[in-house]
Each structure stands twice: as structure tokens, then as C-alpha cells.
Structure 1
């Protein structure tokens, strides 16, 4: 081949290569144009989907106040030590990062003087489930631990102290059964689906915290996180994400105001010191619950957040049942505090003669069966209704029960709200039981007998009530016949002040004969103020109090287990307080509870003498 032919062949090849190269560049240019121009929005959206994570931010929980302004449940800053795993990760397998985090935790434990609270399994679980988020190593650091951290970790990477709100009950165990407590919980499934991650929030698990959880919780916010290809948090702006990493702030929950009066609540709880029982104080003119106490009790600060399984089991298995709100979840036979109800039933429904006399020799015979009066030594002798209330004579009420029957008593009791829940804003309320013949035939397949009427007339037998129900009955006797629905919710409190408050709810008004009610109230006044009254230890020298004592036998007959009760209202002419106190394993209403009523009343009317001392 000639030199010219060879040259021409090489030029041809070069031209061919050039054409191929230009063609490839053209194809590449078209592809790049489609990616960067024609489909830019599509690829940016894809990048956003792969590089963005949505984090749910819970709203700060609303506070709970007593009517007098006392803060009962609030929030305080909790200082938590957190680890940023994107700054602590190591090359290679994730186990290398876990090992490094464990080493950092051990070093921090020595600095803080706190034992490690993270296990290797906790670190692994966080990496698999919540990798872009900081890992909390310690919660609620003490001031001393925070000071040591600040002094000795200067320049450390991937470690910081963050602040989050923690639930706190400033008054400790005060009103614990009413307030309840909160626990950490994940959001509902429907809401969780809209987020990649969610910070756990406090949700109510008992008491007012649970009943008004929707009001207290507030509205969740949102934070957008950028992550890299490994799933770690990416702290720098990624191309195409400008303007997408915004944050929507959460909205705090509502502040709730309760009808409780902190001073009255403290009086009720002090009265129960050292005993098992319950106390309720109502405003008889509105049904407002001024105090609701139950003993044994607990400190909700100990149950907030995360508690160990061992601690929870100890509470559940405690024979004293400290988690039980005896005021509304305990159903008990009322004993003689039920006698005013029986008296009103006999007078108003049975048309009994208020002057009728019955003689008490200390016992009562039903056929060959002997039923004792509580004073079975010599008895009370001849008594009218007012005297029978004063002395709490069982024999007199046996006669009423037999003469007017169980149905009359049943109808009066149910009209006053016994046998059904009051509707107070708490879960766990029980209805109690008001028996009658239909109930006995349905449950026991037996008819109503004279002995049933006698037991019913003195608050024994199958009859069961709650302290809250009997406080409501006492309020109705005090106010002249109005049956208010007991309430705990007084209203909402916002930054600008209290919002308009809902009015109290009147269930109905008893159509009582005024003379009959006056007679029963006079008998209750004599219970406390007459020399022989069974409740004389509750008396105050300058305040006229009316009430009724009661002692109910429980368990097997002869074992000596008793419930000691007393109901009371004051002042007699214009009542402002209706009170019930129950003591389990008491001696009697007069001996055990009357002094407690005295202490509560003394604190109510003489606040300067101390917390119920007198």
C-alpha cells in the first residue's frame, strides 16, 4: 500500500472515531438534559423522598390547677444526655459503631458518677429503628451530674445535654387518686402512619390525666430531617432540599381547672392519716367536689414516665391497694348512715306517722330469729323517729322496714342516685347495688323476706354504696332536695385568664314534704349536738353541724370486721359543706370517725388553727 493510501485510511479512521465520540457526547447531552431539565422535578422529588424523614413532635402537656390556683400537675425541664450516632459511627459493620458507643457510654458514666442505663441491645434497637434521632443515654440528670459533664467533656463530639418537659406533681401525693399519672406512649396508629419517627409523649393513664387527656395533650408538630445514604442524620443542606427542612411547632395543651380546693383536700387527707378509707367533701349547692381522698395512696411523681416492672408489681400486689380510689371504686355496706334515707322513704313514700313510737328492748324478734340492736344491753326504750336517728336505734328501723317494705326504701334510694354511677369525670366509678325483690329473684332465685327488709333498713344486707354516692345523698339532705351531679371539671384556663365555666348540672329535685325533711334534719342535728348523740365527738362549739354515724359489719359474722362511717353537713341553716368519711376496720362511726369529722370541720371553719387540728 502506498503512503498516500495509508494516510487516507488513518484519516478515515480518525474521522470515524470522532463521529462516534461526537455521537456519544450527543447522547450523553440528551440524557443529561432530560435528567437536569426535563425531569428535574421528578428526580428532586425522588431525592427528597429518599433523603427526608418526618419526625412527630408532641405538644407540651397542659397543666392542672385547683380552684384556688394551686398547681397540682405541671411541667418542669428534664435535662437528658443524648448521643448523636452520626458523629460516633465507625467504618465497616454497624457493630463497630455499637462498640464505640458502648465505650463512650462507659466513659460518660465515670464522669457523671451515674451507672450506665443503656445496654448493647438498646443501642442496636435504636440504630435499627430510630437511627437519625439522638439516642438518650441518661434522663433527668442531677445538677451535680450536669456540672461534671460541663467541666470534663469540653470538645467531645457527638455528646450533648438536651432539655425536654417532664411531668411533675408539685404537691406530691395530694389528690393522687383524682389526678392519676402519665406514662410515655407512642402516638395512635393512624397518626403514626404520617410520620417516619415520633418522639414519645406523655399520656394519661389514670384519674383526671386520663379522663381529660385529649384536652391536656395539645397538638403535635413536625420536624423534617435530612439523612444520608446510610440512614444517619445529615446536618448539612442537601441539593434539592432547600426550603424542605422546615419545622412546624407543636401547640401546647389546655390548662384544666378542677373543683378541688387544695386546702380542703389537705384537710381530708390529713384526717385519714394512718388508716385505710376515704373522704369526700362536696359543695351541696353545686355538686362541686372540693376534696376526694383515699388511703393508702401513692405519689404520682413515682409513676410518671418509665417505671420498672418490679415497682409496678409491688404496687399491684400491695394488700393495702394504694392504687384503688376507695371514694368511687370501692362499694361498701353503709350501715346506719343509710337511716336518713330510710326515714325519708317511710315518711314521704310510706306516709309514716313521724310521732309513732317504737320500744327498743335491745333486740327484735322475727319469728324465732333474734336480731340485735347495736346497744343490746338494755336497749333504747320508747323512741320516736327523731330520737331513733339521734340514738341510731336499729330496732326502730327494723319496725319501719317491716311495716313499709323493701320496695319503698329501694325507690327512695334509687331516686337519690344510689345503685348507679354519679357520672363524675373519672374512670373506674362503680354503681353499687340497691337490692329489691326483683333483683333477689333474678340473682338468688329466692323471694324477698322479712329479714331482708330489716337488714335493708339499717344499711346492711346486699346494699352497697360508694363514699361519693353517700356524699351526694348528704348534699341533697343538706340543700333541701336538689340532686346535683358531682363534678371535678370547673373549666379551662388560658394565658389571658379563665374561660367561661360550664354551669353545674342538676340531675333532679326530690319532691319532699318540707316538714318531713325538717324532722330528719333535726334528728341529724341531734346526732352531733345532743348529749346522747352518737356523733357528739364531731361537734364544734360555734358551728352547728348535722350528721349521722354508721357502723357496718363485713366478712363472716362474729369475726369483728367493721366499716366505720359518718356523714355530716354544715352550717346547719345554710350548708356550705357536705362530708362523708369511711374508715376500714374501725371501731364505730361515733368512736372512730366522729373525731375525724370534727378535725375536718374545724379546719374548714377555723383555717388559722392549722390543718384540721382542734
Structure 2
């Protein structure tokens, strides 16, 4: 009986175990069936996603045109020699593939007579991080190299021509400080920092300076994308286009290419700057800084040595002197002093002061450029002759702290940025008693007023500010915000409507006319036959007393009765405004009115 019970118990345990085995088998079969039937699409989608890589493609950059439709910055095809890593893939470690890529590049360098520029480190980085994309071994090769490549490339696997669009500046360095330049974005940085919308970024350029930077969002357009299919090791095996990029929009500037070229020719190789405005609306017709640079050097990515050379050049070609250079204006400031005196005191056109060649204020002496003195002279003649002694005495009438002069200078746009689209822009400095106490821990004295009255001392301006100021004199007192982007429907933006009197305008404009048209005027070298040009010269000393140097100026507008052009030019370390700058201003204006047809070409060459 006990044996029978034991057998029954064993049989029961066997049956239970068999039931568990059958149930487990049924569960496994059901799971496998569900996976194959219901979940196969999910696994396929997951596998598909893991084998796809999305590449960001930059849009074609918009062009920059001058006001007449001349292309100042556009795009051109650049032919590159590219290595397609997947075609050189080697078994084993990635180092084997890297060796193969390097071997092909060495062979190309030898066959094409090219200097190898790609380092092993760059190849390693590409194979490790961006292997589905072509590796650019040489950028922007010339047609001779392309011809040699066509003959030899058939023997080399994994090599082909890759075409990319690069920025092109047809006139080289012309307008460089207006147009600016591009810089290449680091694709590795983008891939690390951006969201997961894209796995890879095709290298693109963005504006780093000038209008290329200011208008970058307009010019850059919208990116597109491309899908790459890769294998388990990340090597590409095919690609499909997903979305085409959208080209950027074009930008039209107020610049007139012809006037820009004339201005740059006038500046020459000097350390200098100049601006030409339309005094009727503030449009910038030309803006230049010398020496300049060639923005084409940046289009394929400037080499570090070249960048270092540009930035260590003592002539500072990367500085836009027209908007960031701050200089004492010298005698070009005197028209504002005359306005301040006429509108703020009882001074009149006929007010006369004596010039013995030096004006003494206590122990301080202010010398006139005419050492023998001008004798007695009235205001208009003092402007024509640029008499320091006269303007020292006139300036002292404008308040004990020169407050009327300071107010007039600020009304003309000095001491603050103009608001032009270009950045950075310097504000300059209109010194006040409060500024002197803060900066120099000293009180304002009459000598400070005399210095300001002749455009010296702590007073600092930019060439653009001087162009804005002379534009306001030309148009009767309206200070426009200078603008570079042409907007056909936009109205001119008035930065300030001064309250300069017609009486003051008549005296100042008349004196500036005499500066050029009189045989005794300091700016007679700027005279252009057939053109009524009004101007003011300036010579500002700077530096230690035993090493004095001069910044030389001229501001001008023309034609006198109905001004269409207003300009300012500064030349560092010149002789005087009348000797150094006046001929340059004359050449500029002669060229402008030749373009207009007011001067015949044969007359312009005389």
C-alpha cells in the first residue's frame, strides 16, 4: 500500500512538471508568434532609424548688390578633391581605413603635384566622427589641377571631384570694410551642441564682419536635409535626398560702386578713411578704410598664419577707421563753433577779432598756423582762413564751460553712435566739465574751451560723424541716421532736427564756399572747375610735444546751391588738411561729377 501511494505521488509530480513544460512552450510560441506577426514592423522601424543619418545642407547664400545692381558679393562653384571613405574601407581596426585614406592622399599629392594640407589628425577625426561624409583633401583647386586629376584619378579608388559653393567678391578688397567677410562654422561643434534633428552638418560659412554679419539671417536662407543609409559600422552605402535647402535673399546696399572706387582711389595706401553721404536722406554712397583686406581670403577658410599677419600688421587693415577710428577733428570743427556762437550768443557775421599769430590765455599760448597772424578778420573770413586765434576768442563767448559748443556738437550727432547698420561703431567724445572731473580729476578751464573751439583737446570724432555733421550743414540742419541697406519704400530716418538758424547757415556755408573758391582759402587745392564745392580743412596735432604728428582732414559738400553729396576724409600723419587731403577731396568730387555728366571725361583728366 505504501509503495502504491509513493508511485501515485511520483506520477503526480511528473504530470505537474509536464504541464509546466507544455505551458512554457506555449508561452514561448505565443511570444515568438506575436513578435513575428505584430511587432516586426516596430523592430524594422527601429532598425531603419538606427541605419539612417540626417545631414544638414546649407542654403545658397544671397548676393549683395550696390544701389545700381552691381554684384559686390556673390557665389561661385569651388571644385574640391574629395575622398569617399566607404570606398576605401579596410577590414579590422579603423586605423587600417585611415591608413588607406592617407595612402590615397599621398598618391594624389604626388600625381597632381600638390602640397598635402590634410593632416592625419584631421583624417582620424573625420573617420571617427563623420565617416559617411566625403573628406575634402583639397579645396578650390584650379583648372590645371582638375585636368591632371582627370588623367590620373581613374587609377585611384574612392576619389572624386566635389563641388561646393563659396563666397566670391568680384572686386577683391573694394568695399571690404562695408561688405565684411565670412567665417567657416565648425561642423564638429554643431554636431555636438545642436539638437538631434541632424546627425551631421555640411560645413557652411556665416557672416563674421560687416554687412555679411549684419544681414546674415537674410543672406543665409533655410537649410535642407539629406538622408544617408549607413551600415552597422557607420559607413555609408547609399543616400536619398529629403528636403532641398532654400536659397537666401539678396541684399541691396545704398553704396554706389563707382563712388566707392573713387573714394578708395583717393585714399590710396595711406592710413585713412572716408565717407560719402547723400545729405538729402542719409544714404551712404561710399565708406572706406585704408589699408583694407581682401575678403576672398576668408571664403575657403583663412589660414592661421594669414590671420595672424592681418592682425599684427601695424597699419591695422582689419580696423574700420571710418566708424571706429576716433580722431580730434581739428579745424573741421570750427563751423559748429560758429553756429554755437551765432545761435547762442550775440555774435554776428561781422564780429571781428584780431589774430597776431598767437592767442595768449594766462600762461597758455594757442598758435595760429599763420605765424605772422591774419590781423583783424570777421567770421566768414576766419572760416576761410581757419584762424585759430579768432575761434579761441569766439569760443570763449559760448559759456564759461563751453556748454553751447557741447550742445551744438551733440545736436550734430557727436558723442554718440550714429545708428548705422555696421558694428561696432565708436561714439567719440564730447568732453564736458563733468567728464573732466570724472576722467581727469580736474576742473574745466578756459584753456579747455579754447582747445575745443579749434577741434583739439579731448574732443574725438569718427569720420562718419564728420560726414553726418557736414551733411546737416549742407541740408540746413537735419541730422539723418546714415543707412547702408536700400529700402525703396522706407522714409529717411531723422536722428535730430536741429534749430540752427538760417543766419548761422548762411555764414557757415558761405565761409566753407570761400575755403575752396577763394584764392586765399585753405582748401583751394580741392577746387573742381565747373563744380561749386564748399569745404573745411582741418589739421589736428597729437602725441608728445617732442614727437608731434598730425591727423589731416577735409569735410565738403556739393553742389553748393543744391547739395547731393557730403563727404569727410581723414588721413593719418599727413602734413595739413589743405596740402594732404584737399587734393584727394578734389579728385573724389571730380570723379563723382564726371559720373553725373556735369564734367566731361576729357575735362576730368586735366
Q: Same fold (TM over 0.5)?
A: yes
- SS where residue 234 of structure 1 aligns? strand
Shift of 1:98: 1.1
User: How far apart are the structure 2 equivalents of 1:363 and 1:257?
Assistant: 52
Shift of 1:588: 0.3
Q: Deviations over 1:548-580 (max 9, x none)?
A: 000000111242300110000000000010011
Which residue matches 2:87?
87
Give the direction of change, closer, same or farther, for the CA distance of 1:152–1:601 in structure 2 (3 Å limit): same
Check the 8 A contact 1:266/1:611 in 2, yes or no. no
- With normalisation by structure 2, the TM-score equals 0.92
User: How far apart are the structure 1 equivalents of 2:356 and 2:497?
Assistant: 38
Which residue matches 1:453?
449
User: How far apart are the structure 2 equivalents of 1:578 and 1:401?
Assistant: 26
5 Å-filtered alignment, 1:476-491, equals: 476-491=472-487
Which residue matches 1:346?
341
2:226 maps to 1:223: yes
2:310 maps to 1:315: yes
Check the 8 A contact 2:153/2:160 in 1, yes or no. no
1:591 paired residue among 572, 579, 593? 579
2:66 maps to 1:63: no
2:390 maps to 1:396: yes
User: How far apart are the structure 2 equivalents of 1:443 and 1:195?
Assistant: 53
2:280 maps to 1:285: yes
2:555 paired residue among 567, 589, 596? 567
Shift of 1:158: 1.7
1:469 paired residue among 465, 469, 473? 465
RMSD of Structure 2 on Structure 1 (CA): 2.1
User: How far apart are the structure 1 equivalents of 2:312 and 2:155?
Assistant: 49
Which residue matches 2:378?
384
Structure 2 unaligned residues grouped into runs of 5+: 1-18
5 Å-filtered alignment, 1:60-459, equals: 60-154=60-154, 156-186=156-186, 191-235=194-238, 245-376=240-371, 378-405=372-399, 406-459=402-455
Check the 8 A contact 1:271/1:612 in 2, yes or no. no
Shift of 1:441: 1.4
Shift of 1:429: 0.7
User: How far apart are the structure 2 equivalents of 1:132 and 1:438?
Assistant: 64
Q: Deviations over 1:414-451 (max 9, x none)?
A: 01110000011111210000011111112112111010
- With normalisation by structure 1, the TM-score equals 0.91
Shift of 1:167: 0.6
Which residue matches 1:609?
601
- SS where residue 518 of structure 1 aligns? helix
Shift of 1:610: 8.5
Which residue matches 1:502?
490
Q: Deviations over 1:160-189 (max 9, x none)?
A: 111110111001010001111001114767
Check the 8 A contact 2:366/2:388 in 1, yes or no. no
Structure 1 unaligned residues grouped into runs of 5+: 1-18, 237-244, 492-499
Which residue matches 2:7?
none
User: How far apart are the structure 2 equivalents of 1:205 and 1:117?
Assistant: 25
User: How far apart are the structure 1 equivalents of 2:177 and 2:134?
Assistant: 35
Number of residues paired by the alignment? 579
Q: Deviations over 1:33-72 (max 9, x none)?
A: 3233211232122112211111111111111111111111
Give the direction of change, closer, same or farther, for the CA distance of 1:272–1:124 in structure 2 (3 Å limit): same
